[in-house]
């Protein structure tokens, strides 16, 4: 595995991601300490949960960007943050 510092990763992100697509595994370092790895995903590995939801009939996905809800959710005249806080209680 090759290492790449955070600063270099930020400044040349597209270049590093092309390398990852080509199969290179990168170890991201912060001041010389390894903090993360970036590696290619295997086809279908990270979206298996989506396939399962679609198979169950609980949802559908065409692979594109989600469009959001068809209608607004009522908060009963309160702000959205107040509704969220109430839901946490």
Q: How many CB atoms lie within 10 A of CB 4?
A: 19
3-state secondary structure of 71: coil
Is 2-38 CATH 3.40.50.2020?
Answer: no
- φ/ψ of residue 9, rounded to 5: -60, -45
Looking up tokens 């600063």 gives: 7
Domain extents in the chain: 2-38
pLDDT digits (tens, 9 = 90+) for 3-60: 999 999 999 999 999 999 999 999 999 999 999 999 987 766 666 777 788 888 888 7
Helix (H) or strand (E) holding 88: helix 80-88
Helix (H) or strand (E) holding 28: strand 26-30
Q: pTM for the full model?
A: 0.50
**Calpha distance 9→4 (Å, rounded):** 6
């Amino acid at each position: 595995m090759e290492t790449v510092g955070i600063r270099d990763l930020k400044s040349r992100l597209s270049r590093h991601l092309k390398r990852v697509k080509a199969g290179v595994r990168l170890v991201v370092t912060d001041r010389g300490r390894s903090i993360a790895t970036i590696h290619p995903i295997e086809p279908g590995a990270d979206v298996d949960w989506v396939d399962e939801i679609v198979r169950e009939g609980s949802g559908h996905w065409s692979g594109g960007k989600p469009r959001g809800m068809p209608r607004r959710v009522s908060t009963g005249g309160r702000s959205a943050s107040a509704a969220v806080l109430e839901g946490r209680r």
